[in-house]
Amino acid sequence: MGAGGRMSVPPSPKKPEFNSLKRVPYSKPPFTLSEIKKAIPPHCFQRSVIRSFSFLLYDFILASLFYYVATNYFPNLPQPLSYVAWPLYWAMQGCILTGVWVIAHECGHHAFSDYQWLDDTVGLILHSSLLVPYFSWKYSHRRHHSNTGSLERDEVFVPKKKSGLRWWAKHFNNPPGRFLSITIQLTLGWPLYLAFNVAGRPYDRFACHYDPYGPIFSDRERLQIYISDAGVLAVAYALYRLVLAKGVGWIISVYGVPLLVVNAFLVMITYLQHTHPSLPHYDSSEWDWMRGALSTVDRDYGILNKVFHNITDTHVAHHLFSTMPHYHAMVATKAIKPILGDYYQFDGMPVYKAIWREAKECLYVEPDEGDKDKGVFWFSNKL
């Protein structure tokens, strides 16, 4: 700039290309968890009550603002404008409430504060308000973190082996079937998982997150499952009273549709974190915790990374150090990349393209043709 425009601006260096489909190594890593931890600045492991509540307060302010505008101004809009305004509200409120869900997720990991009782109190209130059984999810999710990448013991989005596919799988392996599968997954996937353990770890009997005596939970956890159920029932009763006072349409518009958006994002985020053509899964002969924890991928949701408190683009670090608060996760991710090397996986493909690709390419897992005796499984789609 300047000098009449005669000064040329040097071209910015081209970013190095990263092959996100290159398989991550499946051999035992040449580094230890303690070595990874040493690379992270110590302050990243410090939890601040004030800072954690500041993010929650920010989300509440935005959610309240959206609610106020929708309930006070939308009813006065002419119909053509209201048809645009309400979908905008649903999308924006759903995104903010997904951020609230993520903070409750932090509470479940004891990453919100140094006080377990405070984390559980905040998490119970937040998750119950979104009709999530907090302690039920907390315990099953903890087992997911303990067994990530294990075909026998992981808790959610456990891929099937080719021999375990249902007869209808080949009929859905086409664009219309794929679209229908994704739609069902995003709209019904979360409640079906909670109620019927769909896409969860197979148990020898019926498993349900609302059943204190189900196989998901141990004896010492059952009382807290009752507390989770009570929290969900209390919110359900409050919604019932609001239906009587405001009507079904009001509840659906103000709360129901944003909740569907939250559920859809939750399923999408979790699915894309653990489903990728480059990621291995292991049977009991090969699995160990470190390789399982590294069998996940960071994604880029654009501006929503911040709205979702970076649960989307710092997931690898989260699986390694789940008690680390989200506001330190970006610094930690940057610090561990040089240590992890090829074991770190990031895919910047737009998520709407990524979910279509993964639904097409990742139908089941199987060992490579020449490695049938090894317990390392890769995604495939050849039916």
For residue 102, being part of any structural domain is answered with: yes
Q: Is residue 22 part of a domain?
A: no
The 3 state secondary structure assigned to the chain is CCHHHCCCCCCCCCCCCCCCCCCCCCCCCCCCHHHHHHCCCHHHHCCCHHHHHHHHHHHHHHHHHHHHHHHHHHHHCCHHHHHHHHHHHHHHHHHHHHHHHHHHHHHHCCCCCCCHHHHHHHHHHHHHHCCCCHHHHHHHHHHHHHCCCECCCCCECCCCEHHHCCHHHHHHCCHHHHHHHHHHHHHHHHHHHHHHCCCECCCCCCCCCCCCCCCCCCHHHHHHHHHHHHHHHHHHHHHHHHHHHHCHHHHHHHHHHHHHHHHHHHHHHHHHHHCCCCCEEECCCCCCHHHHHCCCCEECCCCHHHHCCCCCCCHHHHHHCCCCCHHHHHHHHHHHHHHHHHHCCEECCCHHHHHHHHHHHCCEEECCCCCCCCCEEEEECCC
pLDDT of the residue at 371: 72
Average pLDDT over residues 92-120: 98
Look at the chain and report how many structural domains it folds into: 1
List, for residues 296-354, the tens digit of each pLDDT value.
Answer: 999 999 999 999 999 999 999 999 999 999 999 999 999 999 999 999 999 999 999 99
- Whether the per-residue pLDDT at 12 is higher than 60: the answer is no
| Of 19 and 201, more confident | 201
Residue 288 has which token pair?
A: 């160990």
- Check residue 6 and give its pLDDT: 38
As a whole number of angstroms, the distance between CA 161 and CA 323 comes to 32
What is the residue range of 45's domain? 33-380
Percent pLDDT > 90 in the chain is: 89
Q: Is residue 11 part of a domain?
A: no
pLDDT at 369: 81
Residue 19 lies in a domain: no
Query: Which pLDDT belongs to residue 372?
Result: 65
The whole-number pLDDT of residue 4 equals: 40
Please indicate, yes or no, if residue 10 is contained in any of the structural domains: no
pLDDT at 209: 98
Is 322 inside a domain boundary? yes
pLDDT in tens, 220-275: 999 999 999 999 999 999 999 999 999 999 999 999 999 999 999 999 999 999 99
| Mean model confidence pLDDT for the chain | 93
What is the structure's pLDDT at 19? 64
Closest of 117, 120, 116 to residue 133, by C-alpha = 120
298 bridge partner residues: 346
pLDDT at residue 10 tops 80: no
Does 14 fall in a domain? no
Segment 211-219 mean pLDDT = 97
Per-residue pLDDT, 196:
96
User: Averaged over 24-37, what is the pLDDT?
Assistant: 96
pTM over 0.85: yes
Distances (CA, A) of 288 to 274, 282, 316, 367: 16, 8, 16, 17
pLDDT value of position 13? 44
- pLDDT confidence of 170, banded at 50, 70, 90? confident
Question: Residue 373: which pLDDT band, with cuts at 50, 70 and 90?
Answer: low
CB-side neighbour CA atoms (13 Å) of 159? 32
